[in-house]
Amino acid sequence: MVVDPRAPESARRRRIADHDDCDADDDQMTMTPEHGRREPAWTAVGPEAAPAIVFLHGALLTRTMWAPQVRRLAKTFRCISVDLPGHGTLAAEAFSLEAAAVVVASAIDAAAPRGRAVLVGLSLGGYVAIETAVRFPDHVDGLVLAGCSAEPVGPTGALMRILAATLERVPARLLRSMAGAFFRVRYRRPVAGPILTAGIWFAGGAGALRALIGRRFLDRLGRLWVPVVVINGALDPVFGPGGDLWSASCRQGRRAVIPWAAHLSNLDRPISFTAQVADFAREVGTGA
């Protein structure tokens, strides 16, 4: 749920009331205008009093990319999966790191039992996790940063700029066809199906990439006091090489490498990735 502080008080109350009416099963539903309700920007499942883990997706995708982790962790943790601006339920909202951090903090306020959570972000979601920890440090118990251990400047920034331009210029029909083929061939139907049903958000992803270009995160990450684990797929050529530097720059950091995984390490090796998240959450004191 996103509550705009600039909105009238009555509007904010309506949006909060809309969310408060939803339990975990309701969050799986599409809230239609006919019913006067808007689909929440996040889904919370798992015991309501359990320690919270918030999952933040990569560019172009949605919260559905975390289904393999949520299925395995929801018995022990309160799992909160968030759509970021420009994607999914928030596709109409322009992406900015500042707006994304507000979305995450709002979800934690509404669904995390202690108003705090471990943030798990992949790629774009990892940068958003850092931004959230900087802006809302009292909301964050620790960070799991996957596939984001490179500054969006220099060669990495140029690569992001090329990708953003490609997403903006190539016909959407062709992009959808290519994305559908990739996910159907690369992953099993229980994984690929929900991702494709939720949609691939090319315009939102392009906007998010452009918002990252030129921003620096490593110094800000090094000033945080929360524990951090930097996860990379062993086959990720862009972000994998920077994992040691990023983990060493943290006050309380370590690195984990997922064998035989590429950039989408949580989907490539879901069991190994989930084990890393669960172990970390327990180590920082949020687990059972």
**Which ranges of 91-249 would DSSP assign to H, the alpha helix?**
97-111, 124-135, 154-169, 172-186, 189-198, 202-212, 218-222, 243-249
Domain ranges of the chain: 1-40, 41-283
Chain segment 224-270, per-residue pLDDT in tens: 999 999 999 999 999 999 999 999 999 999 999 999 999 999 999 99
Predicted pLDDT of residue 15: 34
Burial class (CB in 10 A: 0-12, 13-18, 19+), 213: middle
Chain segment 92-118, per-residue pLDDT in tens: 999 999 999 999 999 999 999 999 999
Chain segment 39-95, per-residue pLDDT in tens: 789 999 999 999 999 999 999 999 999 999 999 999 999 999 999 999 999 999 999
Whether the Cβ atoms of residue 141 and residue 226 lie closer than 8 Å to each other: yes
Predicted pLDDT of residue 287: 44
212 Cβ contact list (under 8 Å, min separation 6) = 97, 124, 127, 152, 160
d(Cα 217, Cα 220) in Å, to the nearest integer?
5
Q: Quick check: 8 pLDDT over 90? A: no
User: Could you give the dihedral angle defined by the CA atoms of residues 109, 111, 116 and 117, in that order, rounded to the nearest 10 degrees?
Assistant: -130
Length of the chain as a residue count: 288
Residue 280 pLDDT grade (very low, low, confident, very high; cuts 50, 70, 90):
very high
- The answer to which of 15-19, 161-165, 244-248 has the lowest mean pLDDT is 15-19
Q: Quick check: 3 pLDDT over 80? A: no
Third-level CATH fold of 41-283? Rossmann fold (3.40.50)
Predicted pLDDT of residue 265: 98
Chain segment 168-214, per-residue pLDDT in tens: 999 999 999 999 999 999 999 999 999 999 999 999 999 999 999 99
Burial class (CB in 10 A: 0-12, 13-18, 19+), 91: middle
